[in-house]
Amino acid sequence: MLRLITAVMIMLLAPVVLGESHWSNWSDKTLCRLSKDPELIEYRKAAEDRGLSCSADKPTSPGTAVAKTNIEGLLINNFRCLQGRHYMGNIINGTDNYISYVQVKSFDYDGVLIGSCKTFVGLSPGSFDSFLAVNCNCQKTNRYQIKAQ
């Protein structure tokens, strides 16, 4: 009986233990392709956990694409690529710090830097505003990195 219980526990815990390593063998391109299917939530979650912005060009509905920055509490809602050149959205400063500039770097499927831009935002603590960063080259972006100061 003890062997049977042990075998059942091992089979039940295997997906939990192996879950993280399962996605590590998948390419960014495959995760992004599969994450576009609205019924495959686990692929979208895996892509987000890896920091991929698979849907930056076409958010499913307004406000769904939330871009994280290097500063906890500073977010850009409805973050998206406009005309393959500009990033836009609504920036929210949920910190106690004044934010002057935001730099966005765009990367392709292979992780190669394909564009970069820096924009002045001038956000007081606890404030929000529209966000626009021009001439970023985000057309074939698979992943982005946002740094603020």
CA separation for the pair 58, 62 (Å, rounded): 10
42: CB partners within 8 A, 6+ apart: none
Domain range list for the chain: 1-52, 55-148
CB-based contact 80:56 (threshold 8 Å): yes
- Please choose, from the candidates 130, 110, 108, the residue with its C-alpha nearest in 3D space to the C-alpha of residue 119: 130
Mean of the per-residue pLDDT values of the chain: 78
CB-based contact 85:134 (threshold 8 Å): yes
pLDDT at 38: 62
Q: Give the DSSP H or E segment for 83.
A: none
Residue type, 81: C
pLDDT at 12: 64
Q: With 70 as the cut, is the pLDDT of residue 126 above it?
A: yes
- Please choose, from the candidates 15, 43, 49, 17, the residue with its C-alpha nearest in 3D space to the C-alpha of residue 31: 43
At 40-61, the pLDDT tens digits run 677 777 777 776 766 544 443 4
Query: What is the topology classification, in CATH, of domain 55-148?
Result: Immunoglobulin-like (2.60.40)
Cα–Cα distances in angstroms (integers) from residue 148 to residues 42, 75, 104, 105, in the given order: 30, 10, 9, 12
At 63-107, the pLDDT tens digits run 457 888 898 889 888 888 888 888 888 898 888 999 999 999 998
pLDDT at 118: 92
CB-based contact 106:138 (threshold 8 Å): yes
pLDDT at 13: 59
CA separation for the pair 22, 36 (Å, rounded): 19
pTM for the whole thing?
A: 0.57
The 3-state DSSP class for residue 140 equals coil
- Please choose, from the candidates 81, 83, 86, 67, the residue with its C-alpha nearest in 3D space to the C-alpha of residue 148: 67
Mean pLDDT of 10-32: 63
CB-based contact 89:67 (threshold 8 Å): yes
Mean pLDDT of 133-146: 87
